Amino acid sequence: GTAAECHSRRSLPAISTCLPSVTSPFPMSAPPSEQMKASGTRSRQKVPLGAGRSQLDWIRLANAAPRRQFAGAVSATELRAHATREDCWMAVRGVVYDFTKYVEYHPGGEVIMEAAGMDGTELFDEYHSWVNVEGFLKNFVVGFYD
């Protein structure tokens, strides 16, 4: 109905009768997991995480963490020296992050260790191209990957 009709009725009309018809210029995209299936890439496998290990829990912890001291340039040799669950660095898009605390919050579980101590950009982008790594690890920047 028209706006006048919508406002003149005593009872509330169905919302669809008062809203103009709008077609979005942006197509709805499939969720990332469906996009991966369609593109032929490996599918993600989520694992059950312990209590207090949700992504929201991680965000709270990460935002409260003090910023690491910036080390400047990090060589491939130095990066490889940090490839354990207890000391896990990874380069993503030219920046080295300390993923150590994040490993236990990773929804895919230990698979994150496949890129420990190395440039994990390709693997990261294969599964998480939409993720703002700079945002969720901003306090864990070690330096630039040299």
DSSP 8-state symbol, 52: T
Low-confidence ranges of the chain (pLDDT < 50): 3, 5-9, 11-13, 15-33, 35-40
* Per-residue pLDDT tens over the stretch 101-112: 999 999 888 899
CA distance 136 to 118: 19
Closest CA to 97 of 126, 65, 50, 55: 65
